[in-house]
Structure 1
Amino acid sequence: MSDSFSTRRQLSVNGRDYTYFSLPVLAERFDIARLPYSMKILLENLLRHEDGGATVGKDHIEAVARWEPKKEPDTEIAFMPARVVLQDFTGVPCVVDLAAMRDAVGKLGGNAKQINPLIPSELVIDHSVQVDVFGRPDALDLNGKIEFERNKERYSFLRWGQKSFENFKVVPPNTGIVHQVNLENLARVVMGREVAGELQAFPDTVFGTDSHTTMINGIGVLGWGVGGIEAEAAMLGQPSSMLIPQVVGFKLTGQLPEGATATDLVLTVTQMLRKHGVVGKFVEFYGDGLQHLPLADRATIANMAPEYGATCGIFPIDAESLTYLRLSGRSEEQIALVEAYAKAQGLWHEPGQAHAEYSATLELDLGEVKPSLAGPKRPQDRVLLENVHSNFQESLGPLIANRKPKGVGCAIEELNGEGGNQPQASHLAAKPVSKIRIQEQDAELSDGSVVIAAITSCTNTSNPAVMLGAGLLARNAARLGLKSKPWVKTSLGPGSLVVTDYLKKAGVLDDLEKLGFYVVGYGCTTCIGNSGPLPEEVSKGIAENELVVASVLSGNRNFEGRVHPEVKANYLASPPLVVAYAIAGTVNIDLTQEPIGKSSDGKDVFLRDIWPSNKEIGDTIAATVGPELFAQNYADVFKGDTRWNQIASPDGESFQWEESSTYIKNPPYFDGMTMQVGSIDDVHGARVMGLFGDSITTDHISPAGNIKKDSPAGRFLISRGVQPADFNSYGSRRGNDDVMVRGTFANIRIKNLMFGGEEGGNTLYYGKDGAAPEKLAIYDAAMKYKADGVPLVVFAGKEYGTGSSRDWAAKGTNLLGVKAVIAESFERIHRSNLVGMGVLPLQFKDGENAQSLGLDGSEVVSVTGLDDGKAKTATVTAKKADGSEKTFEAKVLLLTPKEAEYFRHGGILHYVLRQLAAKKAA
């Protein structure tokens, strides 16, 4: 290990001596004080991993030390996280890949034991529980039973992995959401670990296989979401190649006003940063407003970095960080190490200190934050509470344009917008009403009816202020006799066991239950699409008149088709507002002006009548949230309950694959692999598999939710003897490539523009014989093209691949035979995943797209001039059936030499395998 700048020093804490690499020593040669907090973390990472230039050299350190804030990123560095955290939807395929690599490395002359995590790698099972049962005291127990029945194969496999791999631990089900468990227990903030025979102290940094890994930024830990393939490489000791980023500073002043929540704040921040544009950049929060933001509020803001598009959204280490570490039951020894190290390295923040230099800055007075929601289908589309009803009406038009109501219970009313600059409808329109009988009551469903109200997801369920705020609102509502509407599917998915304990201690869990908000499980539930089935009466009512119904959830994602296939309008909201909309039963209401319901004595009740004050919430937090709750709930965090420990699992360093399994399968990525490295070749004679518009998400590309029985994946499962009732979800079957490749581009809401605005994962297959094109499911067409020896390409608009860091969105694309994706812009993680799976990302020139170039998907496409990955631009030629051609230039998004090297190998995992096999051979 090199130390060109002689920064190795000793730090004594708790009677122990730690080696560390001193930034103040480096500051004697460079102006380090001006660097943002996050840039100092990168700099320390380089100092500690300097190896004479093989991966990190003196020039890399100097490049970060001399960082130019306004400079467009063009310098590559290597970053090595201290640990990896996984969730089970993305973690299972990671462990499947590692198991497959153990088999493959042996065939290449290596040793299976070489495939082993070299850094701490912890998996939290939190994505598998679904809301099958709700609104009753035994919901938690019954959902847990169903979860274990559905996922026995997956859980057995993970138990094998925990026994077989070193440095790999599993947090069993019914513990909490991965990001909250990470924040409350797994995060070290400062690592103290033996490295090469000496005890070292260094910043806790993390890669996570969920894009919301950034939640940990709230406590000063630099980390972000990566695809499973990049996480696996890090686990195997491979650094991540990245460009030195720009850092946007976000100054916070003042404090939140009465009635505003952390959720309202993060939706405001998300909207501001999306408008500014921070894709591929770091965001760093600073300013005097930090002293008024508790750690939970910071974590809420950091969590949604993917929604505002940034790589991270980080806060510095300060006194509040230590307060939280103490509150969450960390040892005094660890807290002392965090404080001593942060102060020794200049990473400690004090109120009023001079801020760093930034690439750009934004500013927000917290006092200007207003109650808000976001929707109906994107998290950056913030809507003031007072405008939700008009926002819904405005969004309704396109959704009902082709509707043909059955006429049951229809009333003819004028469909006029309300408020703002909402366009007015000048025609009479049918407003259908479906009459249903539910919970022994007669009820009516109409457009805007809230059919799902879910307190769910890590964004908010980590935050005592909004969780206890929801409980206090429920108490106030229950005292007045208010109830949730009978057609609303209510659910409470606490982020951890700690949350349930402080809700009980405050006495408000009973009040939430009175309104139907029983605990349904400890996991992402509705936010990840595990909302479970709607009551049959509600489903029939929706279908009867093709109603556009709504969900209100405290999540971070509301993309099309994500929450529930029958629910087209989805709004993100704070937990108190989730409860409020369950009472109201519709989003077609102005809760700032109209009554939310009637009290038991028949009087109108308004939202302001039941909303708890900031003081009441603060006093309740002080009285209920303490270190003892964390200590008792995390005492045996890796042990699991009786169900977990009764699952049988195999032994041995290699996994014994079961041919009959529809959950776990040895993937085909390494079939026929040799030590021979390939090249980056031009693409000739490709057909267009998909022609897509803007904001195609990873949910569109690789859905996580329901598997339709008439889809390619559904037909496959039926052919293997799986009944539709046992399909489970796409997310739960990510360990089986046969299912997942058939599910790629199978979201029911995706729109292939080859068919105008039609929804569904279909494409046109052009055979070799010149016959008329055939409309097929994308998977079926792709297999025909593969048999024909025809490569495929995808055209898309802006923000291609936004959403969760879903490696199957890239893996499935690869296995379908797609060689290149040509888009106006890419989400950071998905672009990286495509490269990691050997699919070439290309970007249209500014101002150009498929539509402006007159492309309709019928063309035969060639991509030339790649020059084995050295070219910055490539030539794309699209030839139509009449012989005419359209030629244009596209930017080659292999951003670093290392990415080009991965691509030549066929992907990052192939690169790692060859490196390990070569070491063994040597």
Structure 2
Amino acid sequence: MIPGRDSLKTKKTLSAGGATYAYYSLAEASKQIGDISRLPFSLKVLLENLLRFEDDRSVTTDDIKAFADWLKTGKSTREIAYRPARVLMQDFTGVPAVVDLAAMRDAMKALGEDPEKINPLAPVDLVIDHSVMVDYFGGPGAFKKNVDREYERNAERYQFLKWGQGAFDNFRVVPPGTGICHQVNLEYLAQTVWTADYKGETYAYPDTLVGTDSHTTMVNGLSVLGWGVGGIEAEAAMLGQPVSMLIPEVIGFKLTGKLPEGATATDLVLVIVEMLRKKGVVGKFVEFYGPGLDHLALEDQATIANMAPEYGATCGFFPVDEETLRYLKATGRSDERVALVEAYAKEQGMWRSKDTPDPVFTDTLELDLTSVIPSIAGPKRPQDRIDLAKAPQGFAAALDKEYGKADEAKKRFPVAGEKFDLGHGDVAVAAITSCTNTSNPSVLIAAGLVARNAHARGLTVKPWVKTSLAPGSQVVTDYLDAANLTDDLDALGFNLVGYGCTTCIGNSGPLPEAISQTINENDLAVASVLSGNRNFEGRISQDVRANFLASPPLVVAYAIAGTMNVNLTTDPLGQDKDGKDVFLKDIWPSNKEIAEVVRENVTAKMFAERYADVFKGDEKWQAIDAGDGQTYRWPASTYVANPPYFEGMTKEPKPVEPINSARVLALFGDSITTDHISPAGAIKEDSPAGAYLKSHQVPVQEFNSYGSRRGNHEVMMRGTFANIRIKNQMVPGTEGGVTKYVGTGETMPIYDAAMKYKAANTPSVVFAGKEYGTGSSRDWAAKGTILLGVRAVIAQSFERIHRSNLIGMGVLPLQFKEGDSWESLGLTGDEEVTIHNVDKIEPRTNLTVSVKFANGETKDVDVLVRIDTADELDYFRHGGILHYVIRNLAA
């Protein structure tokens, strides 16, 4: 951290826990910019960030004053440069970022400079948590077998990441089998108040971060401001470049009352998701306040914060209070850190108490916690909440309207070789999984108690249910063991399968073959019930159509019931040893019992011991020979490859190459998302990526996924624009990543046409409609675009982050003026496109685009350059943000 110029003279000192810290005082700032005491707590964190990094270029005093102006209207059009304290990555999205760092070292070496100059400038933690799959389940050996298979599948990636762990400063790797990045962050990495040394002083400031996973927001529950970003923004942040963002609107969510008997934090968060989706909070901060916070454990707050992506907000922030201090102590943070958090928050007006005036918000909504009842959500969206008592009707409606199977509701189909049959609504997957709930001891202990009580009554799980327990950290295993609940969970098939995301991200593994065959032969609409945060169509399992989110104890209950066609509030789950009906209420623990078991069995010692050697890894990790060179050896691999971004790079940027007589690669309509553009999911055998893997002797069963191969540009560029639902209007009436190659007029994969244009040194462009680039999976949407040879994207409007990512990779975003579009120009894709004066552009100025039609006619259209800032212009002129950083470090 290098402090800025501090023109407002806000730097002061603070004593806490026997140490003295420098900090930037909001109280001092308010003397000069106006009273900001009632700013939302989340905006106070942003304001402090600007005070600390003011440099009169990326951060000006006008940016700082804009926060006082925000209070007048609750909104702002001011764009600010925000620099988070650190970066968090998971392995799917982290691998390509580390690939880029390794490639930057090679580029630095090629320039005759010291490759060790390339290191993250902000601390980076990468947690390997997205690669374990539930191949084995329902037995005592499941965990070891799944971990062994994970290492087999991912040996090349893990060797590379272990090299990075040793080669880079400011970069740490949490090895496989440890936990989910968000739970490791909450329980160990996050500090609430961060510290750094600079020129003999220790600075204290809010802990902030960006993460390469949308559920980074979980740590908002610990008053850490952070959210998920694409890989390119994360790379920029770790290389010291600011995140560009508007000062957001902040929606205040007031909580009153206390959760009633039988309601869990999961039930609460499903209500909040439903309410905020109806409200509409996309692109906004949500901040929780009100007396209800006094009755929510921090783990409950983290559960709510986790699902900010599901309710559509950038973050779901909770302020520092006594509960924050309790959690920090309970998870083994030092006394000195806890003392600093308390002193800093109180000094900065960031402390919440009963006497704190409510902040000023853009808008508000309110929930009485006493109104929360048990719920599930589904069958395909987190916001589609269903009261538990109405779950059978909810599934029946989906069976009719979604799947058109109402007339088969009661039909059953035999399963070959088994003594049971299957029908619509049967639960095929029951998974206690995902960061959302596995960070929360109350719901996991509740699941264990339900399992204990069910086991004692002789209840069992239906034989067609694939059960799994994938905790977010090893501490969960410790407290379930301490509470003597592990054996009961095992008895119902909820054996440990791994410490990772598993079912929630689609790593649920295959269903037993006979069950899968019955489902597919009879087109059955079977269900999954999971304690996760995402239940989109096709996400959980290719065999499972209906996916329902539920609390961990309800996951156990549905596994016992075996079907969605049951009312768990009134129908029996099964019969006990004496043939008597057993109802859910008979085995459901009281809130008091859950709290007592948590209090007796979850200890600070567990956290301290488990995280003492968190970066060490197991014997398999320690046995990986990654070498110790400062540049990577790049062995032949279909998982990790040296990208060509820096080929021919010079110490000084060359003039921007002209875009003359470019060919059109695609004509897209409105709302083309980054999920349409970026490779995701399974790799099809007959796709360009599949052909590449087969040419490298990779058998189809070892293709793995695009996510696991994000470190290999050869695979990823072949999957760019290859989504099966994308519609290129150059080939009307088709779906999928195809285009018309103008040279011959034939239809072919977009990748193949792009390579033909590149081979002929012909630039290409993409045209699109409104809202180009919304969605997630953002880094490869931009990286794949530049690797295909696309020099410019001309659209009616852009999603903000994808626009900046295109610039970060050296692609020019241009925006049609109001009323203009590729349709109004009459384009078919056969045209040649020339963009004039690209070497002379300035932020937000006009350029002329000339279109030459096949008949020789020419049309000119003025477009707006969507390079919005001086920093973005620098990135573009250098050929991308990574080139810009390399040249700056070399200089």
Which sections of structure 2, spanning at least 5 residues, go unmatched?
A: none
Contact 1:688 1:795 in 2 (8 A): no
Contact 1:263 1:300 in 2 (8 A): yes
Kindly indicate whether the alpha-carbon contact (under 8 Å) linking 1:210 and 1:806 is maintained by their aligned counterparts in 2.
no
Q: Which amino acid aligns with 2:609?
A: Q
Task: String of CA shifts for 1:365-417, please: whole Å, max 9, x gaps.
Answer: 2222233333333333333334444444444457656xxxxxxxxxxxxx65x
Measured against aligned partners, the alpha-carbon deviations of 1:862-903 in whole angstroms (never above 9, x if no partner) come to 697999364478999999999999999998765544334434
Aligned to 1:490: 467
1:902 equivalent to 2:875? Answer yes
55-64 vs 216-225, which moves further: 55-64
Pairing 1:270-419 to 2, within 5 Å after superposition: 270-396=273-399, 400=403, 416=406
Asked if residue 544 in structure 1 is aligned to residue 521 in structure 2, the reply is: yes
Q: One-letter code of the match for 2:332?
A: G
Q: Give 1:762 deviation, angstroms.
A: 3.6
Matches of 1:600 and 1:610, distance apart in 2: 15
* Contact persistence 1:861–1:876 (CA under 8 A): no
Give the AA of the match of 2:96. Answer: P
Cα distance change of structure 1 residues 883 and 822 upon mapping to structure 2, 3 Å threshold: same
Using a 3 Å threshold, how does the CA distance of structure 1 residues 46 and 588 change in structure 2: closer, same or farther? Answer: same
- Once the two structures are overlaid, the 10-residue window that deviates more, 547-556 or 34-43, is 547-556
Aligned to 2:742: 767
Displacement, 1:858?
6.7
Contact persistence 1:70–1:246 (CA under 8 A): no
Q: Look up the match of 2:719.
A: 743
The offset of 1:189, in angstroms, is: 1.2
Using the alignment, how far apart are the partners of 2:833 and 2:251 within structure 1? Answer: 38
Q: Are residues 36 and 754 of structure 1, via their aligned partners in 2, closer, same or farther at CA, if it must alter by over 3 Å?
A: same
Specify the SS of the correspondent of 1:179: helix
Would the alpha carbon gap of residues 511 and 758 (structure 1) be closer, same or farther in structure 2, given more than 3 Å must change? farther
Which residue of structure 2 lines up, in the alignment, with residue 47 of structure 1?
A: 51
Task: Give the whole-Å Cα distance in 2 for the aligned partners of 1:319 and 1:663.
Answer: 46
* 1:650 positional shift: 1.3
One-letter code of the match for 1:452? V
Q: Is 1:436 the counterpart of 2:411 in the alignment? A: no
Q: Of 10, 13, 37, which residue of structure 2 is paired with 1:33?
A: 37
1:475 corresponds, among 452, 465, 482, to 452
* 1:669 partner SS: helix
For residues 689 and 467 of structure 2, the distance between their equivalents in structure 1, rounded to whole angstroms, comes to: 30
Structure 1 unaligned blocks of 5 or more? 402-414, 417-427
Deviation at 1:844, TM superposition (A): 8.7
- What is the identity, as a one-letter code, of the residue corresponding to 1:566? D
CA distance in 1, matches of 2:831, 2:30: 57
In 1, Cα distance between equivalents of 2:816 and 2:421: 49
CA–CA separation in structure 2 for the residues paired with 1:395 and 1:321 = 41
Deviates more, 1:225-234 or 1:166-175: 225-234
1:207, 1:213 within 8 Å by CA — same for their partners in 2?
yes
Distance 1:591 1:540, change over 3 A: same
Question: 1:245 offset after TM fit, Å?
Answer: 2.0
Q: Residue 252 and residue 13 in structure 1: after superposition, are their counterparts in 2 closer, same or farther (change >3 A)? A: same
**Pair 1:886–1:271, CA change in 2 (3 A):** farther
Bigger shift: residues 903-912 or 192-201: 903-912
Aligned to 2:584: 607
Distance 2:129 2:421 in 1: 35
Shift of 1:139: 0.5
Distance 1:62 1:757 in 2: 53
Range with greater deviation from structure 2 (104-113 or 615-624): 104-113
User: What's the offset of the Cα at 1:489?
Assistant: 1.6
Corresponding residue of 1:733: 709
Given the superposition, is the C-alpha separation of residues 798 and 3 from structure 1 closer, same or farther in structure 2, using an over 3 Å criterion?
Answer: closer
Task: After TM superposition, give the deviation of residue 516 of structure 1 in Å.
Answer: 1.2
8 Å contact kept, 1:434–1:544: no
- State the AA in 2 paired with 1:807: D
3-state secondary structure, aligned to 1:160:
helix
* Partner Cα separation in structure 1 for residue 89 and residue 557 of structure 2: 34
Partner of 1:449: 426
Whether 2:130 is the aligned partner of 1:158: answer no
User: SS at 1:260's partner residue?
Assistant: coil
The equivalent position to 2:501 in structure 1, one of 524, 538, 545, is 524
Q: 1:848 to 1:390 in 2, by over 3 A?
A: farther
Residues of 2 paired with 1:76 and 1:225: CA distance? 19
Q: Which residue of 1 aligns with 2:687?
A: 711
Give the TM-score normalised by the residue count of structure 1. Answer: 0.87
Which secondary structure does the structure 1 equivalent of 2:841 belong to?
Answer: helix
Alignment partner for residue 662 of structure 1, among 612, 615, 638? 638
Q: Distance in 1 between matches of 2:751 and 2:421?
A: 40
Q: 2:879 aligned with 1:916, yes or no? A: no
Cα deviation for residue 748 of structure 1 reads 5.7
Distance 1:856 1:399, change over 3 A: farther
Amino-acid identity (%): 58
Q: Which residue of 1 aligns with 2:227?
A: 224
> Contact 1:69–1:246 (CA<8 Å) still a contact in 2?
no
Does 294-303 or 575-584 show the bigger shift?
575-584
Q: Structure 1 residues 62 and 429, CA, compared in 2 at 3 Å: closer, same or farther?
A: same
Counterparts of 2:732 and 2:598 in 1: how far apart (Å)?
52
| Alpha-carbon separation, structure 1, partners of 2:323 and 2:864 | 45
Task: Give the TM-score normalised by the residue count of structure 2.
Answer: 0.90
State the Cα deviation string for residues 49-71 of structure 1 (Å, max 9, x = none): 223x1333333322234434636
Q: Is the 8 A contact 1:530 1:705 kept in 2?
A: no
Residue deviations 1:137-180 (CA, integer Å, cap 9, x gap): 10101111111122222122112111111111111111110010
Distance 1:860 1:603 in 2: 76
For these two proteins, the number of residue pairs brought into alignment is 883
1:575 to 544, 547, 552: 552
CA contact (8 A) 2:666 2:730 kept: no
Q: What residue number does 1:422 align with?
A: none
Letter in 2 for 1:313: G
- Tell me if the contact between 1:261 and 1:574 (Cα under 8 Å) persists in the aligned partners: yes
1:100 CA displacement: 0.4
Change (3 A) 1:48 1:386: same
Shift of residue 84, structure 1, vs aligned partner:
1.5
Q: Specify the alignment match of 1:196 in structure 2.
A: 199
Could you report, residue by residue, the CA deviation over 1:560-591 in whole angstroms, capped at 9, with x for unpaired residues?
33322333332222222222222233334443
Report how far residue 122 of structure 1 moved.
1.4
Determine if contact 1:690/1:763 at 8 Å carries over to the other structure.
no
Amino acid at match of 1:36: P
Structure 2 vs 1, CA of residues 537 and 42 (structure 1 numbering), >3 Å: closer, same or farther?
same
Q: Per-residue CA shift, 1:201-251, capped at 9, x if unaligned?
A: 111111212121111111111112222222222222222222222222221
For residues 716-765 of structure 1, the C-alpha deviation after alignment (integer angstroms, 9 at most, x for no partner) is 22211222333333222211111222233555676778999987x44343
Q: For residues 560 and 686 of structure 1, do their structure 2 counterparts lie closer, same or farther at Cα, with a shift above 3 Å needed?
A: farther
Query: Aligned with 1:655: secondary structure?
Result: coil
Any idea what SS the aligned residue of 1:127 has?
coil
Structure 1 residue 667, shift from structure 2 partner: 0.7
- Identify the residue that residue 412 of structure 1 maps to in structure 2: none
Match of 2:487 in 1: 510
Tell me the distance in 1 between the aligned counterparts of 2:693 and 2:361. Answer: 52
Distance 1:474 1:750, change over 3 A: farther
Instruction: After TM superposition, list the pairs within 5 Å mapping 1:517-916 onto structure 2.
Output: 517-658=494-635, 660-674=636-650, 675-676=652-653, 687=664, 689=666, 691=668, 696=673, 698=675, 701-702=677-678, 704-746=680-722, 761-769=736-744, 771=745, 774=747, 776-784=748-756, 786-787=758-759, 789=762, 791-793=764-766, 795=768, 801-803=774-776, 806-818=778-790, 829-839=801-811, 868=841, 870-871=843-844, 894-916=867-889
Q: Superposition RMSD on alpha carbons, in Å?
A: 3.5
Q: Cα–Cα, structure 1 residues 627 and 661, in superposed 2: closer, same or farther, change >3 Å?
A: same
Secondary structure of the residue that 2:31 maps to in structure 1? coil
SS of 1:67's equivalent in the other structure is: helix
3-state secondary structure, aligned to 2:493 = coil
Distance 1:600 1:781, change over 3 A: farther
